Structure 1
Amino acid sequence: MDLGIDQQALVPVVQQIVSAVAEWIRKEGVSPGTRLPSIRQLALDNLLSQASVIEAFERLAAQGLLAPRHGSGFVVASPTTVHENHWYEGAEQGWGAFTDGPLGQLKLGCGWLPDTWRESDDINYAIRELSRTDTGGLFNYSTPLGLPTLREQLLKRLTQIHVPASLERILTTHGASHAQDLLIRTLLKPGDEVVVESPGYGNLYRQLAFQGVTLLQVPRTRGGPDIPALEALLHTHRPKCLFINSLYHNPTGTSLSRPVAERLLELARERDFLIIEEDVYGDLQHASCTRLSALAHDDRVIYVSSFSKTLSGALRVGYLCANAAIITQLAQLKTLTGIGTSRFAEAMVATLLSNGTYRKWVQRLRKRLNAQMAATLQVLEDEEWQVFAAPAGGMFLWARPGLADPLRLQACAQRLGVLLSPGALFSPTGERSEWLRINVAYAADQRALTLFRAMGAARSTSTILKTTHM
């Protein structure tokens, strides 16, 4: 099998192997159960190291495209038999990505709040208030830019966080993912290059790949994107955009530092690229923070946010702020592809913003998350887990067990009924990783605590097995 590997290409050899084998399976319509050439033979035919082929096959197995067969190498996997104990936003599991999972499994790495944390009385009040006061236009189409009363409230909020804005610079969307989809389709074309953080939000990677955009990855550090790595990348590439999650980054929980932010803006001006700043967790801030959109940026930063994570994912209300010319283009695409956003959902959010309900709810939420963050960090420290950084707030931790055995971790999680969100799901290339995204709002659950303790660095194998069978 000729994989067509280019040893001089910037794309890592392992990823080239993964892409080539996946393309062969797709184009040739290879039947499940078909055996692949041996690792030794494939490496020999393509002048590769066996280690590179092994790592590529393991990634393909993790993606469900290949399956190992004892004594006979790897075969093409059957889609109906693939099952992973993994979960993340947008995953296509057999039981449904947005349900409670089989037997009520705990989504330890999910991206939203537990149902038990919701305060439904506030939303019920908003529904009753709307039904009483807006009987005429409540169920009509919204305007292209979004409901005017909501945009007025958003303008006040942006002003409070020092993001320059005006009504004509604000567009409402069906959440942040919709906002990014509109931006990708408006600003980019197949073959364009963009910079993304690694680790980062997996659904963004898939949105970009779906449009044929080339991803250039830069490591995420505790203070933001790795500036030396980005500068080196910019010497040989001319990306159109950089996508960044500034505050309480998904999945590491880190926030952007001021020096890194200022250098990013300098590079954007020097190299002529736009920055798409996602801020869906920004309302959880309780200390001073740095947003690119709040600094002088000459319209090079587009701000994206939503209420899905803090208020309700069911409402699907998001928004973005950009210069008026870009907003005009986005509004045309939004109208063409979806007619408009939900007037009812936007009216609800506008009501909760205007009467102060949302502000009070977020204050209570911040306090609860901060307490749970501290408690989870303490448990992980006690059990000798490694934490990438101790976040100043938000809901995510990026951590890995001191006993770094992925198979044992997976087996332990399955016994306990815990769904994991492992590092490979947050890599642009699907690279395997021992790191996990942990949502601290779920970390007080007894199943999570048992997992943390069972995978502590000081635990022996016998202790782990005994604990997980209790």
Structure 2
Amino acid sequence: MKIVLDASKGVSLAEQLTCQLEEMIRSRQVQVGAKLPSIRQLAASHQISRFPIMEAYDRLVSKGLIQPKHGSGFYVTGRVDTHDHWFRGANPCVARAASGNILQQFTSAGDALPLSSGFIPEAWRDVEGIAQAMRQISRKDTASLVDYAAPQGDATLREQISRRLLLLEIETRPQHILVTHSASHALDLVARTMLRPGDTVFVEDPGYFNLFGLLRLQGIRLIGVPRSRTGPDLSVIEDLLTVHRPKLFFVNTVFQNPTATNIAPQVAFRLLQLAQLHDFSIVEDDIYADLQAVPSQRLAALDQLNRVIYVGGFSKTLSSSLRLGYIAAHPELIGNLMSVKTLTSMGGTKLAESIVATLLERGIYRKHMEKLRYRVDDALAYAVEQLQRSGWEVFEQPCGGMFVWSRVPNVDDSAVLVAEAQKFGITIAPGANYRPNNETSPWLRFNAAYMRDNRTLTFLASTSRL
């Protein structure tokens, strides 16, 4: 029974334990009649107090999932319906546990350095360009200040996105594109539309932890595929396909989060062959596309939106407040996705869509990206140099993007490094957060934008003693 507890999360230990055990019981990972570890055993193995364990067991008893037997322990009951509300809808318990990694980015001390953050600093954003576009729109298009956007998204914005995708050799028209509130919203819409509780999907290991939470929330079964330096491990995929029938495979093609690696052309070709042979679709999450100066091969370009659903967005490069993403897919699927979007969130935010459309149309975004890529590339080179000088191993020399995936040799659990970083006023997420089932990992994700801070250099120097 694999239980992972992390006191640094924004979720109590009792809550974490309750959620993990409930998921194991309802999904039959723990069978009816099985005896749970004793309170004393769990406390000793995780080196925590017995009180959160007692609270978690009490909660599970009240849910009817386990029952105490006097003098013997706690046992899984036979009253578990695997098709009950936990699989039909969102379980608040699972939602709280899954969102803990994200909430950490907003609840850490205000002066703490967010060394593994997924955001770029405000100083790197084109604040003046955004403000200028907003002033123009507020004068000439007052409807943008009060109206919903069209359900599929602003027509001018979709036209601009279509033109940008042509630069990646993805042939689309505006009717192939659905504007969403963010890239995460796009992934959520795909899951809601194409998956049902109990379905199996492949995800990358390590990968995007918010995606893992979204899928678990909908009762989807996650199978992790190791991410190598050239993309998903094809030999592992082929072995897994002899046992599992995934409906979707979620993949980062370029500057993968968190390893910053790109898929090699031969891997992309074979992955599409396997999708055709085993009848699954691929969701290509390309949120970091605009950070790449010279486009490399995209799955959607090879496939032309037959089995590939392409997801992109602007929050990582332009503004997290504007929160705009998009999906490019076959028109029939776009229609289905738009229906789900309309039911769950009505239209989009017309002001945000008008601002981004204006920035794209006037070339302001293009000029911003030229400056941002230069700044990010410079930060990456510095980050790798400092990490290697401090004795860290870098998973792969990044050729762009924001992240460096790195580890300290002979340190098997990066949670040790998380605790060390806290001494210097640094918040950093353990590598386990980026794994589908929170397995222990020695790796850490660094955001290159924050590597020049003196606290980072002091922290790196301290790790030589570990």
Moved more, 183-192 or 112-121: 112-121
Q: CA deviation at 1:129?
A: 1.0
CA distance in 2 between partners of 1:238 and 1:394 (Å):
32
Return the letter of the residue paired with 1:285.
Q
Pair 1:112–1:76, CA change in 2 (3 A): farther
Return the letter of the residue paired with 1:168.
Q
Moved more, 117-126 or 403-412: 403-412
2:304 is the alignment partner of 1:316: no
Moved more, 286-295 or 434-443: 286-295
Contact 2:359 2:365 in 1 (8 A): yes
2:463 is the alignment partner of 1:455: yes
Q: CA deviation at 1:445?
A: 1.0
After superposition, what is the alpha-carbon deviation per residue over 1:386-414, rounded to whole angstroms, capped at 9, x for unaligned?
11111110001111123627565234211
Q: Tell me what 2:392 maps to.
A: 385
Q: CA deviation at 1:91?
A: 3.0
CA distance in 1 between partners of 2:454 and 2:463 (Å):
14
Pair 1:256–1:24, CA change in 2 (3 A): closer
Residues 161-172 of structure 1 mapped to structure 2, 5 A cutoff = 161-172=168-179
Q: Tell me what 2:38 maps to.
A: 36
Contact 1:35 1:74 in 2 (8 A): no
Residues 176-215 of structure 1 mapped to structure 2, 5 A cutoff = 176-215=183-222
Q: CA deviation at 1:454?
A: 1.3
Between the two proteins, the alignment pairs up a number of residues equal to 405
Q: Tell me what 2:70 maps to.
A: none
Q: Tell me what 1:68 maps to.
A: 48
Q: Tell me what 1:146 maps to.
A: 153
1:91 corresponds, among 100, 103, 109, to 100
Q: CA deviation at 1:383?
A: 0.9
CA distance in 1 between partners of 2:229 and 2:101 (Å):
31
Q: CA deviation at 1:422?
A: 1.3
After superposition, what is the alpha-carbon deviation per residue over 1:299-337, rounded to whole angstroms, capped at 9, x for unaligned?
100000110000011101110100011100111111111
2:25 is the alignment partner of 1:22: no
Q: CA deviation at 1:382?
A: 0.8
Q: Equivalent residue of 2:297, what SS?
A: coil
Q: Tell me what 1:283 maps to.
A: 290
Q: CA deviation at 1:142?
A: 1.1
Q: Equivalent residue of 1:218, what SS?
A: strand
Q: Tell me what 1:467 maps to.
A: none
Pair 1:125–1:16, CA change in 2 (3 A): closer
Return the letter of the residue paired with 1:114.
P
Q: CA deviation at 1:73?
A: 11
Moved more, 429-438 or 400-409: 400-409
Pair 1:378–1:143, CA change in 2 (3 A): same
CA distance in 2 between partners of 1:218 and 1:174 (Å):
28
Pair 1:172–1:23, CA change in 2 (3 A): same
Q: Tell me what 1:344 maps to.
A: 351
1:435 corresponds, among 423, 443, 446, to 443
Residues 119-158 of structure 1 mapped to structure 2, 5 A cutoff = 119-158=126-165
CA distance in 1 between partners of 2:203 and 2:423 (Å):
35
Q: Tell me what 2:243 maps to.
A: 236
2:412 is the alignment partner of 1:402: no
CA distance in 2 between partners of 1:338 and 1:20 (Å):
28
Return the letter of the residue paired with 2:291.
L
Q: CA deviation at 1:227?
A: 0.2
Q: Normalised by the size of structure 1, how large is the TM-score?
A: 0.80
Q: Equivalent residue of 1:391, what SS?
A: coil
Pair 1:100–1:351, CA change in 2 (3 A): farther
Q: Tell me what 1:247 maps to.
A: 254
**% identical aligned pairs:** 41
Contact 1:174 1:317 in 2 (8 A): yes
Return the letter of the residue paired with 1:22.
L
Q: Tell me what 2:300 maps to.
A: 293
Contact 1:38 1:73 in 2 (8 A): no
Q: Over aligned residue pairs, what C-alpha RMSD do you find?
A: 2.9
Q: Equivalent residue of 1:180, what SS?
A: helix
Return the letter of the residue paired with 1:241.
L
Pair 1:100–1:356, CA change in 2 (3 A): farther
CA distance in 2 between partners of 1:253 and 1:407 (Å):
21
Return the letter of the residue paired with 2:48.
P
Point out where structure 2 has 5 or more consecutive residues left out of the alignment: 6-16, 27-35, 57-96
Contact 2:4 2:439 in 1 (8 A): no
CA distance in 1 between partners of 2:431 and 2:414 (Å):
11
